[in-house]
A and B are shown apart, each in its own frame.
Chain A
Amino acid sequence: MSTTQEQAAAIIHPFDHLMRADRLPHIMCAGCGIGTVIHGYARAISESGIDPDKHVCVSGIGCSGRAAGYVNVDSYHTTHGRALPFALGIAVHNPELTVTVISGDGDLVAIGGNHFIHAARRNANLNVICINNFNYGMTGGQVGPTTPVGAIGTTAPQGAIEQPFNLPHLAKAAGASFVARWTILHVRQFMDAVLRSMQKNGFCFTEVLSPCPTSFGRRNKLGEGLDEVELYRQRCRIENGAENLEELGIDIVDHEQTITLGNFVDIERPSFLS
């Protein structure tokens, strides 16, 4: 082994103990933002002081659903759309556990949409991270419930025609205790939002915008992953505590439109059976 290799082998990432290193490399595409999300999540676990043995990660199906398979905590990769009720079963049976759900936009608010509003309504004690890449990436770029009007997908070759969900508005209206929106460029703020969710009881929701260059970006002239991150830098503005969530929908393919980020909701109300 050369000296360089020995040095490389000796470097241990500070969150290595929170990763299933024997599962790496991961399956994500170059330019995908999910790795950055997992990093922020691992860092939040670390900074929270939570015993990793008492933290559980639950995911559904899709690229985001694979996240649970890489974190070194009790982790459950469940069925499409059902991560929330599966996680609720864990959290309600054993309130000593903190439970994070990592889910994609299709998983969480299309096939799992009913569970989303009801988990928020109940204020189930769950931390929910929704990785929003505006399409179904794993199946090759179909439009979904967050795809902007006019964006191209394989199932909308002339452009999407349906009004997308505005996720923070939906979460707040359904009763969430904590609601935030960040992007994978805003790593520190995203990590802080997840950390806040872990420290807080009740239904906590963080939307994180993430590039999907393979399935969405290339069809919609957003460029490579890094290009979309640059787009976040140019177009995002931060307004913590913004109250007009109904006006803060996202149109990622309209290059004129501003994207508002922030921690929008942070209220106290009794959490569900915990």
Chain B
Amino acid sequence: MASEVAKRISAPAAAARVLTGSHFMLGDHACAEGAMAAGLSFFAGYPITPSTEVAEHLASRLPAVGGRFVQMEDELASIAAIIGASAAGARSFTATSGPGFSLMMENIGLAAMMELPVVIVNVQRASPSTGLPTMVGQSDILQARWGSHGDYGIIAYCPASPQECFELTIAAFNAADQYRVPAFILMDEVVGHMAERVVIPEASKIPHVPRKGPRTAPGAGRFLPYAPDADLVPPIAHAGDGYKVHMTGLTHDERGYPLQTAEAHDGLVNRLVDKVRLNAADIVDFEEHLVDDADTIVVAYGCTSRSARSAVDQARAEGLRVGMLRPKTIWPFPEERVRRILGIGKVKRFIVPEINLGQLRREIERLTQLPTLGLNHAGGAMLKPAAILEKIKS
């Protein structure tokens, strides 16, 4: 990082970035505070319901600590700007919802291909198209994984409370930098617009995983910007560092130079996928609730997991052996955990309630031959505990 930038961004005390204490806070604001605590230095975005509060919050918070806030002309520009800022060394971020997320897809592929870390929060609303802009949805789950053309790796978190909006946004920044991938926070309108207690620790307790930098000084031997380490992630040099890097969305070699061959392409794309796939054990995060003796497992995430927990507890009170698996990382999906639950040998079926027509259910169906029941609504309202309980009893 260049000296002037370093001075501008590090001059304010860490305390100014980290709002240590106990707060009654909106999920969208908690996400923004997570970004602040994680060391955000550049935000570019475009207003869109129900994510706008993230941008509005950062518009005052970020410049106050020397960061840059830019309202762009559209989401195409927003994603391009945060990738560019990342190339110059920024921890960079944008906030959007379904329609904006769709517009960002091409450049999400560019970030994956250039291996420039960026973080995007998508506060999901009922979709497709304009849908129900102010009402809840969870239907961008598969788009987050597969939305840009081609194969590539990403990491996506799914918070179920304002506290997790804070914590998982920090996790997203760290994972994006550690693996040099786009990282998403897939919130939903209910979690984004819900106010709850958020406890923010001292600045020294905020986890921070820095980017790996070059191990040689500029000019001391050739730096290969795409020569990976054993973890498949190459060290990164930023614009202005003196390494004269070249980055391109074209298939490239370890120098970053275009190399238009099938062999080069296969090797590069496999590495982009494998650096998430093979490091999944270190990335995945989940919560289990009463799974060890359960014959029925409810798999739920985001706002739906709150209804599911209530339904599971009511079912337990009625003597039913029901448990819950709540992925906090939707991608990579905690599939080893599902295999462990299957290995216990007691589970007979899965129930996957979600505010879409069965997107995450496919992951469970892929992992087991056991009956996997969906409880689905296209969007606009939460799934109620009573409906999930009824499904458990069915």
Contact = CB atoms under 8 A, between A and B. Distances in A.
A23 B250 CA distance: 15
Contact of A89 (B74, B85, B243): B85
A57 to B, nearest CB: 9
A69 B73 contact: no
5 contacts: A53-B240, A72-B244, A85-B44, A93-B5, A96-B4
A11 B112 CA distance: 41
B358 interface: no
Given A69-B246, A97-B2, A92 B76 contact: no
A184 to B, nearest CB: 24
B92 to A, nearest CB: 7
B286 interface: no
A118 B107 CA distance: 19
Contacts of B2: 54, 94, 96-97
Interface in A147-176: none
Nearest to B242: A53
Among B3, B88, B218, B247, residue most surrounded by chain A Cβ atoms (within 10 Å): B88
B5 A96 contact: yes
B85 A90 contact: yes
A85 B246 contact: no
A114 B74 contact: yes
Interface in B78-122: 78, 80-90, 92, 106-107, 110, 114
Interface stretch (A76-84, A193-201, A246-254): A76-84
Contacts, number: 149
Contacts of B240: 53-54, 56, 74, 94, 96-97
Contact of A85 (B72, B218, B245): B72
Interface residues of A, number: 37
Contact of B82 (A73, A79, A89): A89
B173 interface: no
A72 B239 CA distance: 12
B40 to A, nearest CB: 11
Contact of B89 (A73, A94, A115): A94
Contacts of B114: 76
A69 B245 CA distance: 10
B73 A118 contact: yes
Interface in B225-259: 239-250, 257-258
A88 interface: yes
A85 B5 contact: no
Given A56-B239, A78-B110, A97 B88 contact: yes
Contacts of B72: 85, 118
A74 B72 CA distance: 24
Contacts of A84: 77, 80
A139 B250 CA distance: 16
A20 interface: yes
A96 B6 CA distance: 11
A68 B106 CA distance: 20
Given A85-B72, A89-B92, A53 B244 contact: yes
B248 A69 contact: yes
B70 interface: yes
A76 B77 contact: no
Interface string B162-193: 00000000000000000000000000000000
